[in-house]
């Protein structure tokens, strides 16, 4: 027993030593830097939100209206004759035997898309009673209903002949004579389409006619 005890003590010491040594070698040395633990970084400065700027409303393209695609530039011309109705036809719409009325004044008026007067011309009939009015370059669709025929009209204004100065409404000379498309058109040197429309003939009539009966 006596001999056994010291061995037991020795063994325990050895075991303890071995244990201690083993652990000692595996214990991280104090010099080992602590693993990096990210500290709560100061948050990057949050970008200041841009002040609110309301977006301008983007203009929507106007829906293409029907037939509203003719943006061509045109030169509208209006021509016609002014005559003096024959006494023999007084009271009728007939212009048989009518004579040209040189110097007669007419107006040609054209209306725009909104039915406003967009152009106005005053013309004096020449020695043949002929007048011609030319309008400036316009977009074809700028005329009322995009058609100069309905947008423009001719009216009698005055006659230089005291014996034939009563306005008649023959072909619309009093209320406004509509235009006819006679198929006369060409492209001018600038590249613009010129279209000639016609109105009338328009007529003044004598204030009084000599009696037609004979003795």
Identify any residues that bridge with 84 across adjacent strands, giving them in sequence order.
99, 204
Tell me: does residue 107 bind ligand NAG (CB under 6 A): no
End-to-end Cα spacing for the chain = 191
Residue nearer to ligand NAG on the CB measure, 129 or 142: 129
In order of 19, 71, 79, the CA distances from 11 in angstroms are 12, 114, 138
Tell me: does residue 122 bind ligand NAG (CB under 6 A): yes
Which of the stretches 107-115, 125-133, 138-146, 153-161 binds ligand NAG when contact is defined by CB under 6 A?
153-161
Q: What is the rounded distance in angstroms from the CA atom of residue 119 to the CA atom of residue 113? A: 12
Residue nearer to ligand NAG on the CB measure, 74 or 84: 84
CB of 104 to ligand NAG, least distance (A): 7
Tell me: does residue 100 bind ligand NAG (CB under 6 A): no
CB distance 144 to 179 below 8 Å: no
Tell me: does residue 194 bind ligand NAG (CB under 6 A): no
CB distance 179 to 132 below 8 Å: no
Which of the stretches 56-64, 65-73, 110-118, 155-163 binds ligand NAG when contact is defined by CB under 6 A?
155-163
What H or E segment, with its residue span, contains residue 22?
helix 4-26
Q: Which residues bind ligand NAG (CB under 6 A)?
A: 103, 105, 122, 124, 158-160
């Amino acid at each position: 027993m006596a001999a056994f005890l010291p061995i037991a003590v020795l063994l325990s010491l050895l075991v303890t030593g071995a244990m201690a040594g083993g652990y000692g070698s595996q214990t991280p040395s104090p010099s080992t830097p602590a693993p990096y633990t990210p500290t709560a970084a100061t948050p990057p400065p949050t970008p200041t939100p841009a002040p609110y700027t309301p977006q301008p409303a983007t203009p929507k393209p106007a829906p293409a209206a029907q037939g509203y695609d003719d943006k061509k530039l045109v030169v509208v011309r209006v021509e016609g004759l002014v005559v003096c109705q024959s006494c023999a036809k007084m009271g009728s719409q007939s212009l048989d035997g009518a004579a040209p009325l040189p110097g007669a004044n007419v107006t040609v008026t054209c209306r725009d898309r909104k039915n406003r007067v967009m152009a106005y011309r005053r013309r004096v009939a020449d020695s043949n009673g002929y007048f011609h009015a030319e309008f400036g370059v316009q977009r074809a669709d700028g005329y009322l209903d995009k058609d100069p025929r309905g947008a423009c009209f001719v009216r009698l204004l005055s006659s230089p002949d005291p014996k034939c100065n009563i306005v008649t409404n023959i072909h619309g000379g009093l209320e406004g004579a509509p235009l006819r498309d006679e198929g006369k058109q060409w492209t001018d040197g600038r590249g613009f389409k010129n279209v000639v429309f016609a109105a009338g003939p328009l007529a003044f009539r004598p204030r009084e006619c000599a009696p037609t009966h004979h003795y």
